[in-house]
Structure 1
């Protein structure tokens, strides 16, 4: 790999053997690197390879530019950046080579702020803790492990409550937009949807139910499709119409849920998306957790 630009002693923008832009991190890697010259591989601790030359979780704006990402990474202190990227690898969230530099940047930036608050004795209570634990159980469990790993490398140790924002950053990494506010909005919309279903049918919408878990997963992927402008459509003559005819009551509820999405995001759902929402609503209202329902 050849150095393109040395950002600081620990971050280098380079090109790999396929001429792809990559971001390299490692203690002292920038000190011995020179523009246009090969980078000493023994100094490379982490390689970030944005897909197609861009970070897929950073969208199409300037934040997806590898040079901008490298600059942002260079602004984070060496100790915090190393703690985060090592912890991400320790718990199996990211490997030595990663296609998501914005995840490392976002987590490291949050950890830097959290360490500053901890040093000053400032404690923050995160209001979305219950929602995050319920809606994003997998990411919350990962975040708890990540927090434990980070605490092995930093001083002072971070409070257990920091697992909530870390989980949100892990959820956010799955979207085209790198804007965490979208994840906050999605969280609120899912809660609204579940509240409508609970009120309309008198159902227990706790996440322990398999059908509720399926619904939450479906809605999360729906949000991904909305962000990527890839809503389901084109199957109206068969599947979509069949679902709406077979589950008219669930379809009416799904149309209400679609209205919530449109009001909160300004995006109208396709007929197919409404149909598949109806299918998941029907599963919840029919009782039981039979996978064949």
Structure 2
């Protein structure tokens, strides 16, 4: 049985859980009419979110001190929509991270302050499913709150969704997105071109760079490509040299070795881009 210990508001209660001891339960209308000692009905069990981690619980309780109850209810619906779309449970930190982020984003919008996101396009290319859902949810939130959330905010929400889906730290995902943008700047400077962000080759390159960074982080290296490497070095010297420059930047930023085989894949992506101009 799940027993109510304290009702924080209509959507949030602290309870004794048979599997997780003391937990924060979050769900639409979950605390309505409840008092200490009440049992949470079993038919509601599929609807709430359990914050098991003690630090997450304290952060969420602190968040409730400045976020109004109606917004908490909206965010519960918001997060439930994400889980329904991807048919999975999200990392519990999204309840703290995304609620806090969007609360202050809406506050800035209402104050007339601008929200800029220089990495929005790279985020859309790297995480298209998360971005598409973030776009849908922003339209839904605009309607509910009668505001107009700027396009740049969609990218930030998409990163929160990806972080919760992949169980990766949001700060790390942000660093990697910025690193990809830096690598693109280096490519444009060295090849003396301005990349058409609508070009399919650019899309493939950005996704490849994100996957490369993730492989480097996990140590999931690719097979040796020594023979092909020699051919590409001879056939495409400009792009081959640039690929090694990019690899050194990744190695310095990530503080992890980059496999030599990466030069092959990067050279092929760069050559497609270079040839298209």
TM range (shorter): 0.7 to 0.9
Contact between 1:49 and 1:98, CA under 8 Å: does it hold in 2?
A: no
Report the Cα offset of residue 108 of structure 1.
Answer: 0.9
Give the equivalent residue in structure 1 for 2:214: 224
TM-score (norm 1): 0.70
What is the SS of the residue equivalent to 1:98?
A: coil
Contact between 1:49 and 1:100, CA under 8 Å: does it hold in 2?
A: no
Give the equivalent residue in structure 2 for 1:210: 200
Report the Cα offset of residue 45 of structure 1.
Answer: 6.7
> C-alpha distance in 1, partners of 2:213/2:16?
34
Contact between 1:4 and 1:15, CA under 8 Å: does it hold in 2?
A: no
Report the Cα offset of residue 213 of structure 1.
Answer: 0.9
Report the Cα offset of residue 191 of structure 1.
Answer: 2.1
Report the Cα offset of residue 158 of structure 1.
Answer: 4.7
Contact between 1:4 and 1:12, CA under 8 Å: does it hold in 2?
A: yes
Give the equivalent residue in structure 1 for 2:259: 270
Contact between 1:11 and 1:73, CA under 8 Å: does it hold in 2?
A: no
Give the equivalent residue in structure 2 for 1:257: 246
1:99 equivalent in alignment to 2:93: no
Within the candidate set 67, 73, 92, 2:54 is matched to 67
What is the SS of the residue equivalent to 2:228?
A: helix
Aligned ranges for residues 1-293 of structure 1 at < 5 Å? 2=2, 8-9=8-9, 10-12=12-14, 19=19, 24-30=25-31, 32=34, 39-44=40-45, 46-48=47-49, 66-74=53-61, 75-76=63-64, 77=67, 78-90=69-81, 94=85, 98-119=89-110, 121-128=111-118, 131-137=119-125, 138=128, 139-154=130-145, 157-161=147-151, 162-173=153-164, 176-180=167-171, 182-203=172-193, 205-227=195-217, 229-233=218-222, 235-236=223-224, 240-248=225-233, 249=237, 250-287=239-276
Contact between 1:134 and 1:207, CA under 8 Å: does it hold in 2?
A: no
Contact between 2:117 and 2:155, CA under 8 Å: does it hold in 1?
A: no
- After superposing the two structures, state which structure 1 stretch, 214-223 or 95-104, moved more: 95-104
Change in CA separation of 1:179 and 1:103 when aligned onto 2, cut-off 3 Å: same
> C-alpha distance in 2, partners of 1:208/1:26?
41
Contact between 2:83 and 2:89, CA under 8 Å: does it hold in 1?
A: no
> C-alpha distance in 2, partners of 1:7/1:276?
56
> C-alpha distance in 2, partners of 1:105/1:27?
16
Report the Cα offset of residue 149 of structure 1.
Answer: 1.4
Contact between 1:33 and 1:39, CA under 8 Å: does it hold in 2?
A: no
> C-alpha distance in 1, partners of 2:40/2:8?
14
Structure 1 residue runs of 4 or more that deviate by more than 6 Å after TM superposition: 20-23
Change in CA separation of 1:24 and 1:44 when aligned onto 2, cut-off 3 Å: farther
What is the SS of the residue equivalent to 1:101?
A: coil
- 1:177-216 Cα deviation digits (max 9, x unpaired): 4233x33332332222223333333455323222221111
> C-alpha distance in 1, partners of 2:226/2:143?
55
